[in-house]
Amino acid sequence: MKSIEKEVLEAIQKQINDGVESINYVDEDWGQLDFYGPQIPVKWPCVLINIAGANFSNIGRDNNLTPPNRQIADQTVELTVANLKLTNSSYKAPNTQKWHAFEMWEVLQEVHQKIQSFRPSERTGMLIRSSYQRIRRDDGVQAVRVVYTLTANNV
């Protein structure tokens, strides 16, 4: 049986890839945005997926499974949505520049619409957004980390 983490990662990746046309790169977050300059190994805009952690509770035993102790996992899934921001967002900037400058928020909304309430596996509940936070950078990359919670059963 595939690990629940792998199932969740693959399902979210497919949901975003198939449902959000504006995203050009979707992958597990292995530190791609830790690189600076032209070495960042993504295409813009991108979504990076990370299972940030889980808390487990025991729910009993099933001696027909290995391991026999069954658990529920409350997982935290982080999506980092990032784009290279090269345009001016000043109020007096030309409208076409402003539209592109605020494009990140439209992309973020598209991703959220595909992920909120999405059920990535038969062994999980739905993804529910719990928070988001801007990631400060000094290289023109605009990034927002959105946190979703998810409950997985019988893991």
Residue pLDDT, tens place only, 120-139 = 999 999 999 999 999 999 88
* Domains of the chain, CATH where assigned: 4-152 (3.30.2000.10)
Q: What is the pTM of this model?
A: 0.89
Q: Give the model's pLDDT for residue 99.
A: 66
Mean pLDDT for the stretch of residues 9-36? 96
Q: Give the model's pLDDT for residue 98.
A: 65
Residue 3 has pLDDT above 80, yes or no: yes
Residue pLDDT, tens place only, 67-105 = 888 899 999 999 999 998 877 677 777 777 666 667 889
Alpha-carbon distance of 155 to 19, in angstroms, equals: 28
Cross-strand pairs, 69: 61
Q: Give the model's pLDDT for residue 126.
A: 98
Q: What is the 3-state secondary structure (H, E, C) of 5-68?
A: HHHHHHHHHHHHHHHCCCCCEEEECCCHHHCCHHHCCCCCCEEEEEEEEEEEEEEEECCCCCCC
- For residue 16, the tally of other CB atoms under 10 A from its CB is 21
Residue pLDDT, tens place only, 30-65 = 999 998 777 899 999 999 999 999 999 998 888 887
Token pair in block for residue 4: 């629940």
Q: Give the model's pLDDT for residue 148.
A: 98
